[in-house]
Amino acid sequence: MKLSLTNKNAYLRSILSGILIGAVLAITFVAGFYFRDLLNLPTRVTVSAGEPDEEGYPLLDEVQSLLDRIYLREQPTYAERQYAAIRGVLGILGEPNTFFIDPPVANSEADVLAGTYGGIGILLQQNELGEFVLYPFSESPAQEAGVSSGAVLVAINGQAIGLTDSPDAIDQQMRGEVADNNGVELTIRQDDRELTIFIEFDVINVPSVVWRVLEEDSQLGYVQILRFTSRTPDELETALNDLLNADIRALVLDVRNNSGGLLEESIAVASMFLDGGVVIYEVTRDAEYTFEADRDGTFTELPIVVIVNNQTASAAELVAGAIRDRDRGILIGQPTFGKGTVQQIFVLSDGSSVHITSAEWFTPSRIPIAGVGLIPNIDMIPDGNGRDVELGEAIRYLQGL
């Protein structure tokens, strides 16, 4: 088909118009990207997920780079961002006993497990108003310096205490190395007046065992283990010898609200009541280990009742389960917490720590503890008025023997 001169001109004009429009669109598109970068307008960015076998966390680095470039507000500190990332990684495991602890809490935890620390010997609690209230230990440096139970902490070393301050961070400021003239200055409010006193640090021994002869029956001894620390076996042996010298004939062992502690020390405690044999089985992802009691348990003939509740956990469940399964005594109270897993504690370079679940425990009868707990031989409902009905039942049971 042939085109006339007029048609040819129209055809050329349409081609040139198309080229011109395409060029304008291309220039506009490129200019849009150019000016968008100048004006920092939002951009949808596609990020490659990377291969599964890549090391490190490249996506995290990319996100942080974007935050550094364009985030509107001030970011949390570098340490806070690291801690949040660690908690996120551990949280996705779905294992509640694998967790991260920041430095002040990690230091407090280490002190509790050791049972000894350098400090002024004081218990710190918050009242309903949010104020930090002090309760000195008996014969502690704080008590000797004149701090009364119920005194309100106003400042430490001249730094005012805020209602939102971390209790663990405050507690750590009242601890330190025992040395000449090394201590802490407290400003407190007590007896309707404010005073400032300097208290030197001393060695503070936190008891893990308390005991007495029961007033209800002088033939029965009572021992409460508050937590399994490095000093618990020695303290328990002292307690039991003291009670035997008072001619007791049976024992109430109270591990209510005992959240656990050190494995080796809990094995040593169980060994005092057992004549050899299995205390606990520990199963890791690679092997199974059997922990046995010593053959020369000192108190193997003493009748025992163990009182437990829903806050009896971990190493306390280990001891209670061994005594029950080995027919050394019965459990009275409520089903226990059910923390039958083992955590290894790793201290990180900045003083923080991470707990990682590495094993699971089973009682001598191979009954799991994790998520289940121990069911008492005599299951009781706690008294709504605060009366110790569990202790009363334990006394009646032992008297019946």
Q: Is there a domain that residue 195 lies in?
A: yes
**pTM here?**
0.65
Same structural domain, 271 and 374: yes
Same structural domain, 247 and 350: yes
Same structural domain, 187 and 215: no
DSSP state of 234: H
Residue 53 confidence (pLDDT)? 56
Same structural domain, 127 and 252: no
Q: Are 294 and 239 in contact (CB under 8 A)?
A: no
**Tell me: the pLDDT tens digits for 129-170?**
778 889 888 789 999 999 998 899 999 999 899 877 777 778
The parent domain of residue 249 ranges over: 209-400
Domain limit, last residue, from 205, 220, 249: 205
d(CA 208, CA 175): 19
Q: Is there a domain that residue 369 lies in?
A: yes
| Residue from 117, 112, 120, 107 nearest 151 by CA | 120
Q: Where do the H-state alpha helices sit in 44-159?
A: 58-70, 78-91, 103-114, 141-144
Residue 105 confidence (pLDDT)? 66
Residue 163 confidence (pLDDT)? 74
d(CA 270, CA 318): 8
Domain limit, last residue, from 205, 235, 256: 205
Q: Quickly state the pLDDT bin for 55 (edges 50, 70, 90).
A: confident
Q: Is there a domain that residue 222 lies in?
A: yes
Domain limit, last residue, from 158, 187, 205: 205
| CATH code at position 135 | 2.30.42.10
**Tell me: the pLDDT tens digits for 262-301?**
889 999 999 999 999 999 999 999 999 999 998 777 899 9
Given a cut of 50, whether residue 197 has pLDDT beyond it is yes
Q: Is there a domain that residue 89 lies in?
A: no
Residue 217 confidence (pLDDT)? 95
Same structural domain, 283 and 222: yes
Q: Is there a domain that residue 78 lies in?
A: no
Q: Is there a domain that residue 122 lies in?
A: yes
Report CA torsion sign: 199, 204, 209, 213.
negative
How many CA atoms are closer than 13 Å to the CA of 192, on its beta-carbon side?
0
Same structural domain, 218 and 191: no
| CATH code at position 370 | 3.90.226.10
Q: Is there a domain that residue 156 lies in?
A: yes
